[in-house]
Amino acid sequence: EADIYQTPRYLVIGTGKKITLECSQTMGHDKMYWYQQDPGMELHLIHYSYGVNSTEKGDLSSESTVSRIRTEHFPLTLESARPSHTSQYLCASREDTQNTEAFFGQGTRLTVV
Amino acid sequence: GEDVEQSLFLSVREGDSSVINCTYTDSSSTYLYWYKQEPGAGLQLLTYIFSNMDMKQDQRLTVLLNKKDKHLSLRIADTQTGDSAIYFCAESFGFQKLVFGTGTRLLVSP
C-alpha cells in the first residue's frame, strides 16, 4: 500500500479565497509531482520537484505555486481561487532511479463557487 | 513535445479480451507504463515495459510495443467486471518526467 496522503479529499470554497492542498509521503522519495485531472479524465502535469528546494513548472500552465522545504511534504497553494480552478488534483511520488513506479495519493477534488 | 494519445472509451463483455491502445510522439522515452484508476481513487501501476522490449506478459495482461509506429497496447484477457476503470499509458523520460496519456474508460458488462 502506498504511503502518500492528500488532504483534504474534498473541498468547496468561495472565489478569492487562498487555499493549500497538502501532500505528504513517508517513503523518502525525492521526486514528487502534482497533476490536474480534467472531468473528462486527462491528466496534466502542473508542477514537479526533484528534491528539497527544487520545484519546476509542468506542461500545463497553472496559477498555483508549490514548495518543497521537506522531502516528505509538497504542498500546492492557490492564492486566489477561481471557478476555473475547479478540478481533481493528484499528487504522486517516486524514487530517484530511472524505472520506478509512481505512487499516487487519493486526490483532492476542489470546487470553487 | 511529448503527446500521448488514447481512445476515450472501450466497452466489452465479461470474458472477452480488451485491447487498449496508446500512441506517442516522443521516441526518447525509456520506459512505458500502464496505470489503472478506479472511481474516486488515485492511479495504480499495472505493468511497464522497457523501451527496447517489444512484448511483456504478466498474468492476464500483455503489453505490446511497436517502436517504429510509436504504438503501445495493453491486452486484458478474460476481462472481468472488476476491470472496469480508466486506463492510462505513460512515458518516462530518463530520471525526470512522467507524461500520461489522455486515458481510456473501460466498461465491462456482464
Give the span between the Cα atoms of A70 and A92, in whole angstroms. 15
Give the span between the Cα atoms of B20 and B88, in whole angstroms. 9
A65-108 pLDDT, tens digit per residue, is 999 999 999 999 999 999 999 999 999 998 876 667 889 999 99
Give the span between the Cα atoms of B63 and B89, in whole angstroms. 11
C-alpha cell at B80: 472481468
Q: Is A84 on the interface with B (CB under 8 A)?
A: no
Write the residue in B30, B43, B103 that is nearest to A104 by C-beta: B43
Residue B95 confidence class, pLDDT cut points 50, 70, 90:
low
Residue B3 confidence class, pLDDT cut points 50, 70, 90:
confident
Phi-psi category of residue A30: left, alpha or beta, with phi > 0 → left and psi -120 to 50 → alpha? alpha
Closest chain B residue to A102, measured at CA: B45
Residues of A within 8 A of B36 (CB-CB) are none
Beta-bridged to residue A60, according to DSSP, are: none
B38-58 pLDDT, tens digit per residue, is 987 888 999 988 888 889 999
* DSSP calls for A11-76: EEE-TT--EEEEEEESS--SEEEEEEE-TT--EEEEEEESSTT--EE-SS--S-EE--SBTTB--E
CB contact under 8 A, B43 and A98: no
Residue pairs spanning A and B at CB distance below 8 A: 64
Residues of B within 8 A of A89 (CB-CB) are none
Residues of A within 8 A of B48 (CB-CB) are 99, 101
Amino acid letter, residue A82:
R
C-alpha cell at A46: 502542473
Residues of A within 8 A of B103 (CB-CB) are 41-43
